[in-house]
Structure 1
Amino acid sequence: MMESTIHPLSKVFLQLGPISIKWYGVLIGMGVIIGLWMAVREGKRLGIREEIFMDLILYAVPIGIICARIYYVLFNLDFYTKYPSEIPKIWHGGLAIHGGLIGGTITGIIYARKKGLSFWKLADIVAPSILVGQMLGRWGNFMNQEAYGGVVSRSFLESLHLPNWIINQMYINGAYHHPTFLYESMWSLLGIIVLLSLRKVNIRRGELFLTYLIWYSIGRYFIEGLRTDSLMLTSTIRMAQFISILIIMASIIILIYRRVTGLSNKRYLDA
């Protein structure tokens, strides 16, 4: 196929007159809906009312999105100070998962305290749901042709046995690129399988969520090294890799501390 004839997939899912519904928003919405369904279903099995998760998502999702956007904007100030009107336009892309994770976690802690519930129990239940949202969100990046990696050959992409519509979408600015969105999406899918399997062994309370943090951060650290659009902490240090290392270290310390002090004596399936 001649590269000059390759056209990117449309970013628009549905056009309603002057209103454009973008694939980016649709896929994030799908992630929220599927994740909520999973959490409600598991919550019922563990004796937690459906309304708990319905109310939680009303707070956590918008706050998480706002924090994800703030995080992204803060590390792209050169652009957004020149074009401040672009700041609220999240449909153009630019949501940092780490920012959303920080905002969502803080919201969950406050919400659990207000409701007199265990944060760790809620976090364990929603951990696979978070990965579902991240997995589908990366396909939104794919439709926007963002979050891609360095330059590769078409033959390399073909060696991955990818369909042409993915290979063609990776032709950006005159070159083919690593489909890092796909790498992270597949890593998230494998993580979902791991977390759902850990539920069956009645893991200690809190350790499912901590496993999610460690799992995601390991994948993100290595995949981030392939990307060309990383948010930078310094001229040589990628912010996502730095944060991933901190999350891995903090999660391991918290896991050990909770075991040593007996805070994790309760199990996932305990009432």
Structure 2
Amino acid sequence: MHSIAFQIGRLNIHWYGIFIALGFLAALAVLQYKRKYANMTPDQIFDIGIIAVVGGVIGARIFYVIEFRHQFSGNLLKIFRIDQGGLVFYGGFLLVLVILWLYSRWKKLSIARIFDIYGPAMALGHAFGRIGCFMQGCCFGRPAQHGGVAFPAGSAPALKYPDFATTKIAENGQTFICSLSLHPVQLYESAANLLLCIALLLLFRKVKKVGQIAASYFIGYGLIRFSLEFLRGDHTDSILGMTPAQFIGIFIMIPCGIFFYLYFGKYGEDAYAAGKPE
């Protein structure tokens, strides 16, 4: 994989940044498509899009620095190099939820409806983002017994899972070792998020109460992430024998999703009091 797409002068344009940008545009398109459901104007949709980018990046980077703090012990300025990858989804997700709640109170909007349209938008944007992770070589998987993808020498996967059979020595004596064949777990998650987005969009025609689509996203993504974490090979910390993402998924995302689905099913307002969606 080559993390750099092209150069403009001395500026390297990374695939990671390109796919993050594409993910933002895709998510914004979903939000605009479903804005009438949330009774929002195009300007308000743009506002929450900016919230997603700014709040998401800040929260995701904070969680990454906490989880992989050993990477920054010798150079704190690396904390700001987000162009080189290094975002933890749950960090951005949780911060954005808080900011959206504050925004809904300020604009007197239904937070449940905002979360409903945010679910499929988040899933689609995340699908693009994981392709960026794959191109960058972050969030990599464990060694695969059959198939898999090898990452180039010098990448994070190659440093953790070197395949010494690929060793090459340059004329200057520098050694190059590619990675073992690893599960392309980033692409697995990208495909799963795309399917989740489609399922949530279809659910708009079936759901009866507001908040249940958002709850379905919590459950769906919690299950996806918990399962795929077993194939991840980049973690260093654990909580009760689980990765931080598994802990959040099984103890926060899924239980909250089930609770909100049942709660809104009983007490939530009708999703389409004025008729079915477009």
Give TM-score, length-normalised by structure 2. 0.84
Q: CA deviation at 1:196?
A: 1.0
Q: Is the 8 A contact 1:44 1:50 kept in 2?
A: no
Distance 1:55 1:221, change over 3 A: same
Say which of 63, 85, 93 aligns to 1:93. 85
Alignment of 1:75-154 (within 5 A): 75-153=67-145
In structure 1, C-alpha distance between the alignment counterparts of 2:113 and 2:58, rounded to whole Å = 25
- The alignment status of 1:190 with 2:190, answered yes or no, reads no
Q: CA deviation at 1:233?
A: 3.5
CA deviation profile, 1:130-151 (whole Å, cap 9, x unmatched):
0011111111111012222211
Tell me the equivalent position of 2:27. 35
What letter is aligned with 2:197?
I
What letter is aligned with 1:237?
M
Q: CA deviation at 1:72?
A: 0.8
In structure 2, C-alpha distance between the alignment counterparts of 1:45 and 1:206, rounded to whole Å = 12
Say which of 145, 157, 160 aligns to 2:147. 157
Give TM-score, length-normalised by structure 1. 0.86
Q: What RMSD in Å do the two structures reach over aligned CA positions?
A: 2.1
In structure 2, C-alpha distance between the alignment counterparts of 1:22 and 1:141, rounded to whole Å = 11
Q: Relative to structure 2, which stretch is displaced further, 75-84 or 29-38? A: 75-84
Q: CA deviation at 1:253?
A: 1.8
Tell me the equivalent position of 1:230. 235
Tell me the equivalent position of 1:57. 49
Q: Is the 8 A contact 1:121 1:268 kept in 2?
A: no
CA deviation profile, 1:4-44 (whole Å, cap 9, x unmatched):
xxxxx321122100111111011000000111012112214
Say which of 254, 267, 270 aligns to 1:266. 270
Q: Is the 8 A contact 2:141 2:185 kept in 1?
A: yes
Say which of 252, 255, 271 aligns to 2:261. 255
CA deviation profile, 1:184-232 (whole Å, cap 9, x unmatched):
1111111111101101114310110110111011010010011111252
Q: Is the 8 A contact 1:56 1:108 kept in 2?
A: yes
Alignment of 1:206-217 (within 5 A): 206-217=211-222
What letter is aligned with 1:25?
G
What letter is aligned with 1:267?
A
In structure 2, C-alpha distance between the alignment counterparts of 1:202 and 1:253, rounded to whole Å = 16
The SS at the match of 2:147 is: helix
Instruction: Give the gaps of 5 or more residues in structure 1.
Output: 1-8, 159-166
Distance 1:111 1:24, change over 3 A: same
Q: Is the 8 A contact 1:142 1:169 kept in 2?
A: no
Alignment of 1:61-72 (within 5 A): 61-72=53-64
In structure 2, C-alpha distance between the alignment counterparts of 1:68 and 1:46, rounded to whole Å = 26
Tell me the equivalent position of 1:218. 223
The answer to which structure has the higher helix fraction is 1
Say which of 18, 21, 45 aligns to 1:26. 18
Q: CA deviation at 1:182?
A: 1.4
Distance 1:54 1:234, change over 3 A: same
Instruction: Give the gaps of 5 or more residues in structure 2.
Output: 164-179
Q: CA deviation at 1:180?
A: 0.6
Tell me the equivalent position of 1:163. none
Tell me the equivalent position of 1:4. none
- The alignment status of 1:204 with 2:232, answered yes or no, reads no
Q: Is the 8 A contact 1:65 1:100 kept in 2?
A: yes
Q: CA deviation at 1:268?
A: 5.1
Q: Is the 8 A contact 2:211 2:260 kept in 1?
A: no
What letter is aligned with 2:96?
G
What letter is aligned with 1:126?
Y
The SS at the match of 1:15 is: strand
The SS at the match of 2:220 is: helix
Tell me the equivalent position of 2:174. none
**What is the count of residue pairs matched by the alignment?**
251
The SS at the match of 2:50 is: helix
